[in-house]
Amino acid sequence: MTGATVRTAERRPAESEHLFEVTDLRVAFRRGQTEAVAVDGVSYHLDPGETLVLLGESGSGKSVSSLASMGLLDPPPAVAVSGSVRLAGRELLGLDDAAGSLVRGRQIAMVFQDSLSALNPCYTIGFQIIEVLRTHLGMSKRAARAHAIDLLNRVRIPDAARRVDDYPHQFSGGQRQRVMIAIAIAAEPEVLIADEPTTALDVTVQAEIMDLLADLQVERRMGMLLITHDLGVAADVADRIAVMYAGRIVEQSPAEAIYAGAAHPYTRGLLASVPRFDLPRGALAPIPGAPPSAGAFPAGCRFHPRCPLATELCRQQEPALLPVPGFERASGPVRRSACHYADEVAGVR
């Protein structure tokens, strides 16, 4: 085997297809003698060079949906995964382990939330990058090591040629996250899923990590799915935002439209909970209560026990995710909300 990169023929999406498309994704877990549905009918799409932010509180199903779409939920604990996950028109759900492992890392990759747990403490970070390069690109050991050093330089690890032989515990939290990004982009995937990539990092390092991801995305034209509960991070990078609550998407919209005026009470509550410099101290308006547990969703709208606008209709009938009147474009509706009173919430009469 030479050091040259070996590439297999990859199917590119047709003009009528999205690069990455999730349709009616459902995930259930065993809970005692019953099945608890954690993700319930989630649908979204992603195009080349686009950033879609999946936004919501902890426990809303964001990470579970991404793990399911990557084929990383094994039974048990997951007992049922259904729907469709298509990458460049190819169905990913149902792939056997061998076929799935060829797609993961090569065409779609993930930056996990906890880098210390995701990296193997028994191997150097260089070994872990080289493994990806040899598996997916067929590189020789020498070529892979040289490329691993180049990748570490690209994710701004100082003294990369020396640090390639260090172990994960020898890096700071921000540096480990950069190493995770280097591993994720090693095989030049078309789609990158970043699951809370700035968790537990200080504000300065958070900004550096997000700038790095943005630069790499522009350079490679990757589609990026960013999972976060941080509205500040979402505002900086999102092209579109999908808001999740209790296992379902309750609002989808271009980012600028959501920040100009949410079309769902839950999204509006999230925005009101963000600290602002132009408000007096203590002026936050947190959402009362807590999200329901998987398998214990209330009847009707799942947000109605916490919603200040809830009516009897909300308590009895679950709203569908529908276009918001007054926010259409020539190419079709661009805003959707799962609220019976979405037009009023968005300020459209």
Q: Is there a contact between 42 and 249 (Cβ–Cβ < 8 Å)? A: yes
pTM of the model: 0.89
Helix H or strand E encompassing 342: helix 342-345
- Predicted pLDDT of residue 331: 56
Q: Is there a contact between 195 and 66 (Cβ–Cβ < 8 Å)? A: yes
CA–CA gap between residue 30 and residue 113 (Å, rounded): 24
In 10 A of CB 1, how many CB atoms? Answer: 10
- Predicted pLDDT of residue 14: 55
Q: Is there a contact between 132 and 105 (Cβ–Cβ < 8 Å)? A: yes
CA–CA gap between residue 312 and residue 17 (Å, rounded): 40
Reading the chain (349 residues) residue by residue, the pLDDT tens digits are 333 333 344 455 555 589 999 999 999 998 777 889 999 999 999 999 999 999 999 889 999 999 999 989 877 778 888 999 999 999 999 898 889 988 998 999 999 888 888 999 999 999 999 999 999 999 999 999 999 999 999 999 999 999 999 999 999 999 999 999 999 999 999 999 999 988 778 888 888 888 989 888 888 899 999 999 888 889 889 999 999 999 999 999 999 999 988 999 999 999 988 876 666 666 677 899 999 988 889 999 999 999 999 999 999 999 999 998 876 665 555 799 999 999 889 875 4
With 0-12 CB in 10 A as exposed, 13-18 as middle and 19+ as buried, what is 191? buried
Residue with tokens 């379902």: 248
CA–CA gap between residue 317 and residue 38 (Å, rounded): 20
Kindly list the distances between the CA atom of residue 249 and the CA atoms of 165, 271, 304, 321, in Å, as whole numbers in the listed order.
Answer: 43, 16, 15, 8
Kindly list the distances between the CA atom of residue 112 and the CA atoms of 11, 33, 254, 272, in Å, as whole numbers in the listed order.
Answer: 26, 31, 25, 28
- Tell me the three state secondary structure of residue 124: coil
The domain defined by 20-238 carries CATH number 3.40.50.150: no
With 0-12 CB in 10 A as exposed, 13-18 as middle and 19+ as buried, what is 6? exposed
- Predicted pLDDT of residue 334: 79
Relative to beta strand 78-87, strand 223-228 is unpaired
Instruction: Enumerate the domain spans of the chain.
Output: 20-238, 244-345
